[in-house]
Structure 1
Amino acid sequence: MTEESVLTYVGIAMAIGTIGNALVIYIFGFRYRKSPFNMLITILAIYDLLSCIIHMPLDIVGMLLPEILPHSIFCKAACTMVSVTMIAASIVLIAIAIMRYRGVSKPLSRNIDIREAKGIGILAIIPAVGLSWPIIFMFTTETITSKEGRKIAMCGIHDKAYTTYALAFHSVLLGLFLVNFISLVVFYLVIARVMINRNKVFAQKNKRNRSIAIASIMEKSDQTSTGNTPGSTHDSKMGMISAGKKNSITQKSMSLFVHEPQSPKSERLKPAGRCRERSSANNGLLMMFLVTILFLCSYLPHLGYSMYFLLCSMDDIINLAVTASFGVLVRSYYMNSFSNPIIYALCSGEFRFEVAETFRRLFRLKS
């Protein structure tokens, strides 16, 4: 039952992740307008898609037909890929958070452009590979036998000579991971605070402008009734409209840095108004915050197990290896490969619209 549970988990993750990330790449990369944010989201989806079409199928084949694949080669390649994609994705998430923060706190200053965003996504591979290369030498596959006589292929660090280096390596990875996560959370909390304060200022300014305009209209009306020029009421109304437009433009310029404009077709479906702009901005912030939280939840169990295996006895490892929870949790990083498209669909009506349009076009081509 243990192997069947793990196979089911990996198979579902591969199916959802492959379809979901392919849709993200198509929609954010080709359907939406070109922007640094959309470029970085597309690069994140490429990292996740590589895991779905390379790592997961090899994992399934390794469980079903272990004699086909050289175990140690697969173990080294799989663990290296997990580490590289984790570090590269964390760099891209940091870049997105910095871009969001600069866009909200300094909306008129220069921000990351599309070419720089593409460069960040590609160059993130270099430090990721630089930190992950020790895996090639330390990780191997060994077959262990449980008390029931069941043989299990375990991928990990089995050579005791590497124990000290392995502890240092995993400590560095875990430390960088936690620092990265804390930085991301702090960035998004600061962004949320700036947005809340900015919205309060806009609300107070709108209220003050309305009060001044209404008082001016009433005063002009009184003057008109006593014989003053009738055009003054019209002028005061125009002044109120002008003040409202000015404030609306300022608010809109801030919100655009939080919620990127997307495809022209989906924009036609959106009702106009400041409430919609604030809702879109809040949804964009919530979307990336959830991506950050899921990133932590997906990699932390895997890193925790890796550290635990270096410190516990072989009997404990064997007892854990025969449980279904172990097979799933040690592969917890797969959750990151399929969860992002689900988050985008939950938080973005535009993304849901484009997904529906994509499937409609596909069905039309088939018919």
Structure 2
Amino acid sequence: MTTEANISDSDLLEQINSEVASLMTPVIVYLGVLMFFGVLGNIFVCYYYGQQTRRSSHAVFICTIALFDLVSCAVSMPIEIVDMKFYYTFTNGHLCKFLRFVNHVAAIGSAFTLIAISVDRFRRICRPLKKQLNLLKCKLLCALSFLLGLIYSWPALVFYKSVEVELNAQNGRILKGYDCSITNESNYRDYIWGFNFVYLITFMFGTGTLVVMYSLVGRSIYQHKRKLILSRPLSRRPKPVHADLDSTKIDKESSGIDNDEQGRASCARKANAMQLFAKCSKAEKKKATDINGDHHNKDKLNNKSIKYTMIMLVVASIFVISFLPYLVLVKIYTFEDLRDSLWGSSLVGYEIGLRSYSA
């Protein structure tokens, strides 16, 4: 009967790695589902807003968000799954650096794009008479978001690598494994702390900007809808156009003149008044139709803008909520090797939390 004492270190490491890989099955399934629907969904979004709709700031921003997410789903998630399968035997340091770098670029680029969208929504809804962002400026903002993603993410190429970890086997043997993680070298400790601190400050600033922008947008939308409801009955109220006819009737009744000539004149005046009434009624009806039609189109346009704003608000909220667990866990990991004390469902939850920003 083979015991752990008779197994080589490499075989024992493979055995432990297989056990952890089996434990990580929920994480792998989670990433696989996100990858499948993320790739299909973002390809469809890029095709629809890139080819089937007219060029607009909305389309540019949505395509940019979809491209960042597509890179995360098509490039990062497959490597994340490989990382889960080779939990303690991930020896490819260059692939590790590439994985973390792409993850950071996609996340930071998406964050700055969402901030740009919130500013655009604020200007269009709260400052509609001011000069708005044109198509070129929107493209430049998206390019700037990508550039900022690169600037914020380059330290990942330095700090992340295949880190050597010590594993305690059941028989007391110390095994040497390799994990794709942030370096534990003491001379990098201050730089890593600064790296995470910059991320934390940027996250707080970005979240604050989103909250302020969308709060002002929400207030403007509420005021707009309230004003629209109050103004509709007044704008559709018919105007009195039969004053001439009523005055003609009063003049006829009060005059008491009953000769034929006066009667014919009265009839002529009545006929003219009826024609005038018909023309005025027709004109007023047409005018009211035009006004109501204009209001309908304007309402429809505003509703479309409001709908787009609400979608972007939901996307931004999901991004902030999903990024928060990652930021907290990374911050804890900087000061304490939390993962070594975890096992079972707690370790699975920890790994899902670290990858929550991929959602």
Given candidates 15, 20, 39, the residue that maps to 1:18 is 39
When residues 40 and 4 of structure 1 are mapped into structure 2, their CA distance, relative to the original with a 3 A threshold, is: same
In structure 1, the partner of 2:352 is 328
The one-letter code matched in structure 2 to 1:139 is Y
Q: Which moved more, 1:45-54 or 1:235-244?
A: 235-244
Cα distance, 1:310 vs structure 2: 0.9
In structure 2, the partner of 1:199 is 225
Given candidates 35, 39, 43, the residue that maps to 2:56 is 35
Q: Please tell me whether the aligned partners of residues 144 and 318 of structure 1 are also in contact (alpha carbons under 8 angstroms).
A: no
When residues 246 and 332 of structure 1 are mapped into structure 2, their CA distance, relative to the original with a 3 A threshold, is: same
Matches within 5 A, 1:160-171: 160-171=186-197
Residue 264 of structure 2 corresponds to residue 242 of structure 1: no
In structure 1, the partner of 2:310 is 286
Cα distance, 1:224 vs structure 2: 7.3
CA distance in 2, matches of 1:189, 1:245: 34
When residues 278 and 117 of structure 1 are mapped into structure 2, their CA distance, relative to the original with a 3 A threshold, is: closer
In structure 2, the partner of 1:319 is 341
Q: Please tell me whether the aligned partners of residues 25 and 45 of structure 1 are also in contact (alpha carbons under 8 angstroms).
A: yes
The one-letter code matched in structure 1 to 2:27 is V
When residues 225 and 298 of structure 1 are mapped into structure 2, their CA distance, relative to the original with a 3 A threshold, is: farther
Q: Please tell me whether the aligned partners of residues 145 and 318 of structure 1 are also in contact (alpha carbons under 8 angstroms).
A: no
Cα distance, 1:34 vs structure 2: 1.2
The one-letter code matched in structure 2 to 1:33 is R
Moved over 3 A (4+): 65-71, 143-152, 217-230, 236-241, 243-253, 276-282
Give percent identity, aligned residues only.
22
RMSD, aligned CA: 2.9
Given candidates 330, 335, 355, the residue that maps to 1:306 is 330
Cα distance, 1:318 vs structure 2: 0.6
Matches within 5 A, 1:1-367: 1-64=22-85, 70-145=91-166, 153-211=179-237, 213-214=238-239, 216-217=240-241, 222=246, 227=270, 228-232=273-277, 234-235=279-280, 238-239=283-284, 242=287, 245-246=290-291, 249=294, 252-253=297-298, 274=299, 279-312=303-336, 314=337, 316-320=338-342, 323-335=347-359
CA distance in 1, matches of 2:339, 2:49: 43
When residues 39 and 221 of structure 1 are mapped into structure 2, their CA distance, relative to the original with a 3 A threshold, is: farther
CA distance in 2, matches of 1:34, 1:86: 25
1:16-65 per-position Cα deviation (integer Å, ceiling 9, x unaligned): 11001000000111111111110111011111111111111122223335
Q: Please tell me whether the aligned partners of residues 80 and 133 of structure 1 are also in contact (alpha carbons under 8 angstroms).
A: yes
1:143-196 per-position Cα deviation (integer Å, ceiling 9, x unaligned): 435556596725123112222221221111111112112211221221121122
CA distance in 2, matches of 1:321, 1:223: 94
When residues 52 and 130 of structure 1 are mapped into structure 2, their CA distance, relative to the original with a 3 A threshold, is: same
In structure 2, the partner of 1:340 is none
1:95-154 per-position Cα deviation (integer Å, ceiling 9, x unaligned): 212222211123343322222222222232222212222222222232435556596725
Q: Secondary structure in 2 aligned to 1:158?
A: coil
Q: Please tell me whether the aligned partners of residues 111 and 206 of structure 2 are also in contact (alpha carbons under 8 angstroms).
A: yes
TM-score (structure 2 length as normaliser): 0.76
Cα distance, 1:198 vs structure 2: 1.8
Aligned length: 310
Cα distance, 1:279 vs structure 2: 4.6
In structure 1, the partner of 2:14 is none
Q: Please tell me whether the aligned partners of residues 245 and 274 of structure 2 are also in contact (alpha carbons under 8 angstroms).
A: no
CA distance in 2, matches of 1:248, 1:100: 26
Q: Which moved more, 1:52-61 or 1:226-235?
A: 226-235
Q: Please tell me whether the aligned partners of residues 202 and 247 of structure 1 are also in contact (alpha carbons under 8 angstroms).
A: no
Q: Secondary structure in 2 aligned to 1:124?
A: helix
CA distance in 2, matches of 1:20, 1:307: 32
Q: Secondary structure in 1 aligned to 2:163?
A: strand
When residues 221 and 11 of structure 1 are mapped into structure 2, their CA distance, relative to the original with a 3 A threshold, is: farther
TM-score (structure 1 length as normaliser): 0.75
In structure 1, the partner of 2:259 is none
When residues 69 and 286 of structure 1 are mapped into structure 2, their CA distance, relative to the original with a 3 A threshold, is: same
Which protein is bigger by CA-based radius of gyration?
2
Q: Which moved more, 1:101-110 or 1:239-248?
A: 239-248
CA distance in 1, matches of 2:152, 2:141: 17
CA distance in 1, matches of 2:244, 2:190: 83
When residues 65 and 324 of structure 1 are mapped into structure 2, their CA distance, relative to the original with a 3 A threshold, is: closer
Q: Please tell me whether the aligned partners of residues 88 and 178 of structure 2 are also in contact (alpha carbons under 8 angstroms).
A: no
When residues 29 and 68 of structure 1 are mapped into structure 2, their CA distance, relative to the original with a 3 A threshold, is: farther
